[in-house]
Chain A
Amino acid sequence: MRFRLKEGGRIDRAQRLRFTFNGRRYEGFAGDTLASALIANGTHLTSRSFKYHRPRGILTAGAEEPSALVQLGEGARTEPNLRATQVELYDGLTAAGVNAWPSANCDFAAWTGRLAPLFPAGFYYKTFLWPASFWKFVYEPTIRRMAGLGRAPEAPDPDSYDKRHVHCDVLVVGGGPAGIAAALAAGEAGARVLLVDEEATLGGALLGQRHKVDGVDGAAWAQAAAGRLAAMEEVRVLSRTTLFGYYDHNSLSAFERRTDHLGPGTPAGMSRQRLWNIKAGRVVLATGAHERPLVFADNDRPGIMLASAAQRYLNHYAALPGERAVLFTNNDAAYEAAHDIVEAGGTVGAVVDCRHEPAAPLAPKLEEAGVALHTGSVIAATHGTKRVRSVTVAKLGEGGGLSGEQYRIFCDSVLVSGGWNPAVHLFSQSAGKLAFEEARGIFLPGKATQALEAVGAANGSFGLASCLAEGAAAGARAAEAAGFGDGTPPPTPPVEAPEPGAITPFWLAPGQKPLGHGKAKHMVDHQDDVTAADIRLAAREGFRSVEHVKRYTTVGMGTDQGKTANVNGLAILADALGKTVPEVGFTTYRPPYTPVTFGALAGRDTGPLMDPVRRTAMHEWHEAEGAVFEPVGQWLRPWWYPRPGEDKHAAVARECRAVREAAGILDASTLGKIDIKGPDATTLLDMVYTNAFSTLKVGRVRYGLMCGDDGMVFDDGTTARLGENHYLMTTTTGNAAHVLEWLEEWLQTEWPELRVYCTSVTEQWATVALAGPRARDVLAAVAPEMALDTDSFPFMSVKEGIVAGVDARVFRISFTGELSFEINVPWQHGRRLWEALMEAGAAHGITPYGTEAMHVLRAERGFIIVGQETDGTTTPHDLGMDWIVSKKKSDFLGKRAWSREDSRREDRKQLVGILTDDPKKVLPEGTQLVETRGQPPIPMIGHVTSSYESPTLGRSIALALVRSGRARKGETIYAAPESGFLPCKVTEPVFYDPEGAKRDG
């Protein structure tokens, strides 16, 4: 640790930690980040850049890092694209820089840098335009391998994650001086306070500086304040927690890293990360500011870093940035970094200040220490390959170019400062308006939309005293708004810190050649390799909107969202367009502030806990019989019941034959059931169904279609009249909740005068469908007292009675075309009923069948499935179901829409049957249908909605929606190109028993 100071800093020199980076072994101390430990070891080269594979180092000391991205860990726990500046060191840590193959030190793809003229702005759009097929096989795999950033782990995540929900009166975001002052003020007033800070310890900017608060080192003051906050019962402090999303109504989300800093020392069973969903009364944004880099020629070499970052590494981690530093700045505040290095015994070769007559208070002190001061000057070039070795300094001329002599200054680190950008990301996410301040060239929080206040550096108040004062005032105000205290802020402690001083915004330092000429790159966005020349090119090519320039050049589109790049890029664009920054506008900040793991977002809602599973009363029986299950909504339904040696095809064919020839038994419990009662129940049904229910006799059942007022079918099912004012409606399995809501909506909002109650009883009744020519015999054996002959129990009627010793409702309805009974018993008796029927049916060849056989059987009979034969643009007439549309009722939902011009079109898609000329070919569902064979493009005239191999017919069958389909019956059409233009006949959509002769057995 050559560059570690003998004393000072806040690392624990008693705890040495070993780690491996890019294959080399290093040592650091407890309290280090990966970045600080590397710097202490003299290593600045961390990775390669995204596009040109330029050597990259550590630019910042925090969340805004665009450049030092690493792949942490190995195997199932590896994690890509982490910022080395935020990775806390632990013993045994292993990491490597991203985008480097085989290593950052020796990168095979660095030749792309030499091919740089081939990678201009918008190169993705220009280079990879054609041919389209090249994307799949050439461009994308190559780009991914070369520029895909890090690798995702390939094994399942071994860690656990969780979520918490929390309400507070005052949420303070940021644990720097302003945030601490706000939390203290609100906490002392008695409010429920949550303070969220992304770092391991509170202090924020104080950790990087040598300023004093209340007579002591700022970091020590912060630590004492943390102790005071911890002692307050209603205050909670979350460290290592990033507030990443600010949503409506002061709903916010934070991402806590609970064990990442512990490495192998993580206690067993502790969740790794936690997502906090916060509902706050008021929010105080004390999110600080990010130092802005200066844009100059080859400003991205390892060893070039922000002045404040160098200061943070020095003062907090006791690590010098190098042997000899040069400072390049446009403001007074940055002089402090050079001064701190000199004070710590390091060497600063020169200060380069682009201002012609700077009057930084620290300048005389630095000159006294032998630091050369170059005013009105810029760094015109940098030199060195894997580390900066020297810089060329030149005077700024009148016209903005270079003038006079150029000096070469040797150095191994360059500290840059272009001023400070308030971290307005969360303010912007909250829908607050940003305001541009010309004098300092910064975006400030303007008009707020939500109950929040931005304070301190986030509000453009960079001085320590004003940070504390603004924080305390906002904290007290927020507490008062929640009913605590009178809004008077507590006194703030005295500080010893310089004021931020003067700044002259400076956006682009000229290089030795005109921008875009020669090899030098003025890097604006370090993560996406976007240069000032790229932005100028975009402007020349006609891009005006900042949103378009962002997407075209990709500036600000990396995982860092351009925290160090956006404002510089915007100012350079404005200059190129001859506009002001506010005229150009700003892109919107969106969550997350920094990346959040999928693990934390998912929490425990993974695997079987991702979505509730609904099981029927007979589920265990199906399982024991080896049923294959199909999810339908949240239900698990038996799909088919394979016997030993059977595949799906054989099992389904056997089940279908059993229903057609003997008896089948289906678990139909998942169908939605709605109990409808009340004096106006009939009126309601007459309005929501296309057919009439007022004519339905008690004890009878009717099939109905439900349409929206747009005339489109959205559900179907049978409804039984159990009493004068009492009905039981069934719905499709997937639509049960939707249909209940549909009825409730009309009752509450349009027809509140109707006296009707609707109750879901889906889970009160277990339902078994018993179907097949022998169904009556089977049922008779378990319901000896029930008259089952056709006269006493006709088709489409309902009976109550004892079945298998249990009170039951039996419906004579059929979805297969065969004689069929749907037997409903209280849910808890479902299994008993099922087993009794199996036993009684054994002699009749009873066979359990699943949803696949059910689908085949109903398609043979030409019964539709809503959502399969319909798609929200299908009317009853399109389905050929005019017979179910009442001509007598003056009004019902859907009726009016059918006389609209579009509904009357003759060439609407209509339901037809499709028989392939080759009976063995089963068309895939969704197959497009065309009129003629030929060279695509060919107009599509329809598509296949259902398609099966029919065991009953011994050939393939399909249903389809085809333009003017009914008029095409008997014609030959063709299945679209992928199916090889198979010829098909258009037929009636009923393939089996069109007269309905089978339904009575």
Chain B
Amino acid sequence: MLWIDCPWCGARPETEFRYGGEAHIARPDPATTDDAGWADYLFMRSNPKGVHAERWMHREGCRRWFNALRDTVSNDVLTIYPMGTARPDAPGDEAGGG
């Protein structure tokens, strides 16, 4: 059971949240995106071993979406940050780029 620090409600157990998959996958402009690009947007995810930027929603609380960096090996939640902001740096996060 993960314990996730909702920015609005504080630390709550995982069962109160909905997982939203990888973060920072913006919906591309359909008019200028080719089939391969659209398939990338729909289906392709990075699935790293290590730090992963992902989305969560506090379904049984404030119902707000937010982003998190989680280490997929230790399951440590390293940082929580708002929707629409860039991926922050985190300890041991090589893919990061604030």
In A450-500, which residues have CB < 8 Å from any B CB?
450
**Contact residues in A for B33 (Cβ distance below 8 Å):** 896
Residues of B within 8 A of A741 (CB): 18, 57, 59
A107 at the interface (CB under 8 A from B): no
User: Does residue A546 face the partner (Cβ distance < 8 Å to B)?
Assistant: no
A792 interfacial contact with B, CB 8 Å: no
CB-based contact A449/B74 at 8 Å: yes
CA distance A465 to B27 in the complex (A): 63
- A750 within 8 Å of B by Cβ? yes
State which of B3, B38, B74 has its C-beta within 8 Å of the C-beta of A279: B3
Q: Which of A247, A744, A748, A750 contacts B27 (CB 8 A)?
A: A750
Q: Which residues of B contact A248 (CB under 8 A)?
A: 1-2, 14, 75
Closest beta carbon of chain B to A889's beta carbon, Å: 11
Query: Does the CB pair B1–A745 fall under 8 Å?
Result: no
With a cutoff of 8 Å between Cβ atoms, the chain B residues found around residue A745 in the complex are 20, 57, 65
Chain B residues near A896 (CB-CB < 8 A): 30, 33, 38
Q: Which residue of B lies closest to A431 (CB)?
A: B74
Instruction: Flag if A897 contacts B42 (CB, 8 Å).
Output: yes
Specify the chain B residue showing the minimal Cβ separation from A744. Answer: B63
Per-residue interface assignment for chain A, residues 652 to 694, with 1 indicating a CB less than 8 Å from any chain B CB and 0 otherwise: 0000000000000000000000000000000000000000000
Q: Which residues of A contact B41 (CB under 8 A)?
A: 709
Is A695 interfacial (CB-CB < 8 Å)? no
Selected from A247, A710, A895, the residue in CB contact (under 8 A) with B30 is A895
Cα–Cα distance between A119 and B84 once the two chains are bound (Å):
63
Could you tell me if A249 and B38 are in contact, using CB atoms closer than 8 angstroms? no
Query: Quick one: given A745-B57, A752-B83, are A709 and B27 in contact (CB under 8 Å)?
Result: yes
Given contacts A749-B55, A900-B39, contact A247 B31 (CB under 8 A): no
Residues of B within 8 A of A897 (CB): 38, 42
Q: Verify if A901 is at the interface (C-beta below 8 Å from B).
A: yes
> Closest B-chain residue to A748, C-beta based?
B65
A428-452 CB mask vs B (1 if < 8 Å, else 0) is 0001000000000000000001100
Chain A residue at minimum C-beta to C-beta distance from B75: A248
Asked if A133 is at the interface of the complex by the 8 Å CB criterion, the answer is no
Contact with A along B12-26 (1 / 0, CB 8 A): 011000101000001
Nearest-CB distance from A447 to chain B (Å)? Answer: 10
Task: Verify if A233 is at the interface (C-beta below 8 Å from B).
Answer: no
Chain B neighbourhood of A886, CB < 8 A: none
Smallest CB separation, A244 vs chain B (Å): 14
Closest Cβ of chain B to A688, distance in Å, is: 13
- Chain A residue with the shortest CB-CB distance to B83: A749
With an 8 Å Cβ cutoff, the count of chain B residues facing the other chain is 28
Contacts of A901 in B (CB 8 A): 35
Partner of B64, one of A449, A709, A748, A750: A748
Closest to A448 in B: B74
On chain B, the residues within 8 Å of A251 by CB distance are: 1, 3, 13
Q: Which of B49-90 contact A (CB under 8 A)?
A: 55, 57, 59, 63-65, 73-75, 83-84
A12 close to chain B: CB less than 8 A = no
- Given A249-B75, A745-B20, A900-B39, do A752 and B1 touch, yes or no (CB 8 Å)? no
A749 to B55, CA, bound (A): 9
In the complex, chain A residues 497-531 whose Cβ is within 8 Å of any chain B Cβ? none
Please tell me if A647 contacts chain B, counting CB pairs below 8 Å: no
Q: Which of B26, B42, B83 has the most CB of A within 10 A?
A: B42
| B60 CB → nearest A CB, Å | 11
Task: Name the residue in A247, A748, A895, A896 with the highest tally of chain B Cβ atoms < 10 Å from its Cβ.
Answer: A896
Contact (Cβ within 8 A) A891 B30: yes
Q: Which residues of A contact B55 (CB under 8 A)?
A: 749
CA distance A277 to B1 in the complex (A): 10
Instruction: Evaluate contact between A709 and B42: CB separation under 8 angstroms.
Output: yes
**CB nearest to A899 among chain B residues:** B35
Q: How distant is the Cα of A247 from the Cα of B57 in the complex, in angstroms?
A: 22
A713 to chain B, nearest CB (A): 16
A890 within 8 A of B: yes
**Segment 220-266 of A: residues with Cβ below 8 Å from B:** 247-249, 251
A247 adjacent to B74 (CB under 8 Å): no
Give the complex CA separation of A248 and B84 in angstroms. Answer: 28
Say whether A247 contacts B1, CB under 8 Å.
yes
Distance between Cα atoms of A769 and B37 in the complex (Å): 46
B-contact bits for A630-647, CB 8 A (1 contact / 0 none): 000000000000000000
Residues of B within 8 A of A748 (CB): 64-65, 83
B57 cross-chain contacts in A, Cβ below 8 A: 741, 744-745
Q: Give the residues in chain B near A899, CB-CB below 8 Å.
A: 35
CA distance A900 to B43 in the complex (A): 13
B24 to chain A, nearest CB (A): 10
Cα–Cα distance between A259 and B34 once the two chains are bound (Å): 66
Alpha-carbon gap, A424 to B63, bound state (A) = 40
Q: Which residues in A have their C-beta under 8 angstroms from that of B20? A: 745, 749
A750 to B59, CA, bound (A): 18
Docked pose: A277 CA to B55 CA in angstroms? 26
Q: B38: which of A247, A431, A900 is its contact (CB, 8 Å)?
A: A900
Residue of A nearest to B55 (CB): A749
Contact among A449, A709, A752, A890 with B31 in the assembled complex (CB-CB below 8 Å):
A890
In the assembled complex, which residues on chain B have CB atoms less than 8 Å from the CB atom of A431?
73-75
* B29 to A: closest C-beta gap in Å: 8
B residues in contact with A709, CB < 8 Å: 27, 41-42
Tell me, in angstroms, the Cα distance from A229 to B34 when the chains sit together: 68
Q: Measured between alpha carbons, how far is A431 from B65 in the docked complex, in Å?
A: 29
Interface residues of A in 867-923 (CB under 8 A from B): 890-891, 895-897, 899-901
> What is the chain A residue whose CB lies nearest that of B41?
A709
Looking across the interface, which residue of chain A has its beta carbon closest to that of B71?
A449
Chain B residues near A449: list those with CB within 8 A.
73-74
The chain B residue sitting closest to A279, CB to CB, is: B3
Task: Compute how far the CA of A900 lies from the CA of B63 in the bound complex, rounded to whole angstroms.
Answer: 34
Chain B residues whose C-beta falls within 8 Å of the C-beta of A450 in the assembled complex: 74
Q: A743 CB to closest chain B CB, in angstroms?
A: 11
Bound together, the chains give a CA A745 to CA B19 distance in angstroms of 12
- Residues of A contacting B35 with CB < 8 Å? 899-901
Docked complex Cα distance between A249 and B76 (Å): 7
Q: State A741–B55 Cα separation when bound (angstroms).
A: 14
Q: How far is the CB of B82 from chain A (nearest CB, A)?
A: 10
Does the CB pair A249–B83 fall under 8 Å? Answer: no
Give chain A interface residues in 261-285, CB to chain B under 8 Å.
Answer: 277, 279
In the complex, residue of chain B having the shortest beta-carbon distance to the beta carbon of A245: B1
Q: Which residue of A lies closest to B1 (CB)?
A: A251
Q: List residues of chain A with CB within 8 A of the CB of B26.
A: 750
Please indicate the chain B residues that have their CB under 8 angstroms from the CB of A249 in the complex: 1-3, 75
**Complex Cα gap A159–B61 (Å):** 34
A445, chain B: closest CB distance, angstroms: 16
Task: Name the CB-closest residue of A to B29.
Answer: A891
CA of A744 to CA of B75, assembled, Å: 27
Report A's interface with B, CB cutoff 8 A. Answer: 247-249, 251, 277, 279, 431, 449-450, 709-710, 741, 744-745, 748-750, 752, 890-891, 895-897, 899-901
**Chain B residues with a Cβ under 8 A of chain A:** 1-3, 13-14, 18, 20, 26-27, 30-31, 33, 35, 38-39, 41-42, 55, 57, 59, 63-65, 73-75, 83-84
Cβ contacts A to B, 29 pairs, < 8 Å: A247-B1, A248-B1, A248-B75, A251-B1, A251-B3, A251-B13, A277-B1, A279-B1, A279-B3, A431-B73, A431-B74, A431-B75, A449-B74, A709-B27, A741-B18, A741-B57, A744-B57, A744-B63, A744-B65, A745-B20, A749-B83, A750-B26, A752-B83, A891-B30, A897-B38, A899-B35, A900-B38, A900-B39, A901-B35
Known A745-B57, A750-B27; 11 more pairs at CB < 8 Å = A247-B1, A248-B1, A249-B3, A709-B27, A741-B57, A896-B33, A897-B42, A900-B35, A900-B38, A900-B39, A901-B35
